[in-house]
């Protein structure tokens, strides 16, 4: 695809879709600004060459009711100003009077952030009229919102459609993320190992299915493992399981054979609300006592998975192995991160929880690429194409 660096932006206005859907705490302070930092190269590419930037993003999932103020993009705009070291204008609407006035008075080298796109119902609906008004503000369109590339929201699809005939390009972040994941999936150096955790099998069925076809090993952890355990007749105690997914789990096990590796032991506890203080013990997989629940992979599993990981040349990892926020149930996730750090594989960490785990446990510098997209990176691992990228200009 054509990139933002490849178009002339001097005195032109670029409408750039970014993913500033960042986590905020109670006081609306940003707790992780990675998505904003990762958008800087594309923004700078425009302002350094005398262009103007209008940034648009969503934040959270506002409902249109009370309490939506907490989804304002104002804190993200402020943080962007700090990172750029220059004034960033902020419009309190998207296609209203404030946005129009501020967009038309933007000078070369300046940046305007629009308020949360999802405050307008047209965004989720892919509404053409809403898209048309956004499109009318600019001379070129840039998609640098990797985390949202699997969505067909107005700003992702209808806006670039409405801008046919004008330059429509990808930004640095989207180009880099897609390159990493496409290379891993289409020409992986082998052994190619996938590590999948998280709570639900249902979220990852298509990913497991697709990866069983292309990986040399798929290692399963997280609560998802207990549904597989149930499917093989194991005792899961009070563990989180999806009873209605047991048949699917059986199918995946049959398809996967030796490639699909499941935990051999489990670290369990009897009080999720008080993990530090509750009774804990390690049991063989499928032997979880009735009054306990699985909270992490056990040490035997961690060792077995670490050996597979250390011999890998390409790794994709999505989803923690256990309740990594609560020691000692972070040990399985830590062991996996350590094995990746010790090995020499190209490693790609899918966003969301696994990215937070890698950050929190101090391994962020030891992996090749931490994706800014949770759902988007899973969609790529499922083999999905992105309409939001396909319609952009070819290089």
Residues annotated in a binding site: 19-21, 35, 58-61, 118, 151, 204, 294, 325, 351-354
Which residues are CB-contacts of 84 (< 8 A; sequence separation ≥ 6)? 40, 43, 44, 47, 111
Given 12, 35, 102, 245, the catalytic residue? 35
* 343 near ligand 3PG, rule: CB under 6 A: no
Residue 151: CB minimum distance to ligand 3PG, A? 5
Q: φ, ψ for residue 150 (rounded to 5)?
A: -85, 0
Which of 251, 268, 247 lies closest to 331 in space, CA to CA?
Answer: 268
Specify the stretch interacting with ligand 3PG by CB under 6 A; choose among 144-152, 189-197, 288-296, 311-319: 144-152
Residue 272 and residue 76: Cα distance in Å, rounded? Answer: 34
Specify the stretch interacting with ligand 3PG by CB under 6 A; choose among 91-99, 143-151, 272-280, 305-313: 143-151
Q: φ, ψ for residue 260 (rounded to 5)?
A: -85, 110
* 21 near ligand 3PG, rule: CB under 6 A: yes
Task: Please count the CA atoms within 13 angstroms of the CA of 385 that sit on its side-chain side.
Answer: 5
Q: Which two tokens stand for residue 46?
A: 């425009």
200 noted as active-site residue: yes
* 19 near ligand 3PG, rule: CB under 6 A: yes
Residue-wise DSSP of 132-145: HHHHTT-SEEEEE-
Residue 114: CB minimum distance to ligand 3PG, A? 16
Residue 147: CB minimum distance to ligand 3PG, A? 4
Residue-wise DSSP of 81-140: HHHHTS-EEE-SSSSSHHHHHHHHTPPTT-EEE---GGGSTHHHHT-HHHHHHHHTT-SE
CB closer to ligand 3PG, 167 vs 319: 319
Among 147, 222, 319, 343, the residue binding ligand 3PG under the rule CB under 6 A is 147
CB closer to ligand 3PG, 61 vs 255: 61
35 noted as active-site residue: yes
Report the SS3 class of residue 131. Answer: helix
* Helix ranges (DSSP H) in 232-330: 246-256, 299-310
Residue 60: CB minimum distance to ligand 3PG, A? 7
Q: φ, ψ for residue 375 (rounded to 5)?
A: -60, -35
Stated length of the chain: 395
Residue-wise DSSP of 282-304: EEETTEE-TT-EEEEE-HHHHHH
Site string for ligand 3PG, 151-180 (x = CB under 6 A): x-----------------------------
Residue 238: exposure state from Cβ atoms within 10 A (0-12, 13-18, ≥19): middle
Report the SS3 class of residue 347. Answer: strand
Given 200, 280, 303, 313, the catalytic residue? 200
Among 167, 374, 380, 392, the residue binding ligand 3PG under the rule CB under 6 A is 374
Residue nearest to ligand 3PG (CB): 21
CA dihedral 79, 132, 392, 7 (to 10 degrees): -70
Which of 371, 356, 354 lies closest to 318 in space, CA to CA?
Answer: 354
352 noted as active-site residue: yes
257 noted as active-site residue: no
* 372 near ligand 3PG, rule: CB under 6 A: no
CB closer to ligand 3PG, 152 vs 313: 152
CB closer to ligand 3PG, 19 vs 296: 19
CB closer to ligand 3PG, 167 vs 374: 374
Among 72, 148, 239, 333, the residue binding ligand 3PG under the rule CB under 6 A is 148
Just list the catalytic residues. 35, 200, 352, 375
Q: Which residues bind ligand 3PG (CB under 6 A)?
A: 19, 21, 61, 147-148, 151, 374-375
């Amino acid at each position: 695809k054509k990139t933002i660096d490849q178009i002339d932006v001097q005195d032109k206005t670029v409408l750039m879709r970014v993913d500033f859907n960042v986590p905020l705490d109670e006081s609306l302070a940003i707790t992780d600004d990675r998505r904003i930092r990762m958008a800087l190269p594309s923004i700078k590419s425009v302002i350094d060459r005398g262009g103007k930037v209008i940034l648009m993003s969503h934040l959270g999932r506002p409902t249109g009711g009370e309490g939506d103020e907490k989804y304002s993009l104002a804190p993200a705009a402020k943080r962007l100003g700090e990172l750029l070291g220059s004034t960033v204008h902020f419009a309190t609407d998207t296609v209203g009077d404030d946005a129009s006035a501020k967009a038309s008075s933007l000078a070369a080298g300046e940046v305007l952030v629009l308020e949360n796109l999802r405050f307008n119902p047209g965004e989720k609906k892919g509404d053409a009229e809403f898209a048309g008004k956004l499109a009318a503000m600019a001379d070129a369109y840039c998609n640098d919102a990797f985390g949202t590339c699997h969505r067909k929201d107005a700003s992702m699809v209808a806006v670039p459609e409405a801008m046919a005939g004008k330059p429509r390009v990808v930004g640095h972040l989207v180009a880099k993320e897609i390159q990493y994941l496409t290379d891993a999936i289409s020409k992986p150096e082998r052994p190619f190992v996938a590590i999948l955790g998280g709570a639900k099998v249902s979220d990852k069925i298509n990913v497991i299915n697709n990866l069983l076809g292309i990986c040399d090993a798929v290692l399963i952890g997280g609560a998802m493992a207990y549904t597989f355990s149930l499917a093989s007749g194991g005792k899961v105690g009070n563990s989180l399981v999806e009873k209605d997914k047991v048949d699917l789990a059986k199918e995946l096990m049959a398809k996967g054979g030796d490639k699909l590796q499941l935990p051999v032991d489990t670290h369990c506890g009897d009080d999720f609300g008080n993990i530090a203080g509750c009774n804990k013990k390690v049991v063989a997989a499928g032997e979880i006592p009735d009054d306990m629940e699985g909270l992490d992979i056990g040490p035997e599993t961690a060792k077995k998975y670490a050996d597979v990981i250390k011999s890998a040349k390409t790794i994709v990892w999505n989803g923690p192995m256990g309740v990594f926020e609560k020691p000692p149930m972070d040990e399985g996730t830590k062991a996996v991160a350590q094995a990746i750090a010790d090995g020499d594989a190209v490693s790609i960490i899918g966003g969301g929880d696994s990215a937070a785990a890698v950050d929190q446990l101090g391994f962020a510098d030891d992996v090749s690429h931490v994706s800014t997209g949770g759902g988007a990176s899973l969609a790529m691992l499922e083999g999905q194409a992105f309409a939001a990228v396909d319609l952009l200009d070819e290089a």
